Amino acid sequence: MEILLGICLGIGLAAACGFRVFVPLLVMSIASRTGHLALGSGFEWIGSVPALVMFAVAAVVELAAYLVPWLDNALDSVATPAAVIAGTVAMAACVSGASPLLTWTLAVVAGGGAAGIVQGMTVVARGASSATTGGAGNPAVSTAEAGGSVFVSVLAVAVPVVAGLAVILLLAYAFLRIGGGVRRRREARG
Secondary structure of the chain in the HEC alphabet? CHHHHHHHHHHHHHHHHHHCCHHHHHHHHHHHHCCCCCCCCCCHHHHCHHHHHHHHHHHHHHHHHCCCHHHHHHHHHHHHHHHHHHHHHHHHHHCCCCCHHHHHHHHHHHHHHHHHHHHHHHHHHHHHHHHHHCCCCHHHHHHHHHHHHHHHHHHHHHCHHHHHHHHHHHHHHHHHHHHHHHHHHHHHHC
C-alpha 77/C-alpha 82 separation (Å) is: 9
Q: How far is CA 42 from the centre of its chain?
A: 21
Domain residue ranges in the chain: 2-189
Sites in the chain below the pLDDT cut of 70:
1, 180-182, 190
Query: Nearest-CA neighbor of 129 among 119, 118, 142?
Result: 142
pLDDT score at 104: 95
pLDDT score at 150: 97
pLDDT score at 166: 92
Residue count of the chain: 190
pLDDT score at 112: 97
pLDDT score at 81: 96
